[in-house]
Structure 1
Amino acid sequence: MPDPTAARLRAGHALTVTETALVFLEDARRRGELYRSLDWLTEDPPPIGNGEAVIPDAPMC
């Protein structure tokens, strides 16, 4: 990624999504529920043109 600011924003978003998924995992384990890695999938950013992309939140399956 050529733009350092864009790279930092994307990395920050990925970290936030991962931390959120871990909170769901910790809560499920605390309650004795099954929570698998495929219960939370991230999406590839869809391009919107000019080399930019929308970074969606992760959908829950």
Structure 2
Amino acid sequence: MAGAHTWISESNPPDGSEPRFEHGWHAEVRDVTSYLLRITDTTATTGRGRTASSAMLVTDPQ
């Protein structure tokens, strides 16, 4: 995810694009990178929850 986020956030519109296209390009890049960050946050939070649950089962199998 980090690699995809970096690649997208560092991308540029095609050379010679109109200003309106460039503005739209950058707005969409922000949207996509925000979405990737939400996925990463959700995945990390879910993983931590599963790890904690598994640890509880190991220490208290009842």
* TM-score, length basis structure 2: 0.48
Larger proportion of strand: 1
**Larger gyration radius, structure 1 or structure 2:** 2
Larger proportion of helix: 2
* TM-score, length basis structure 1: 0.49
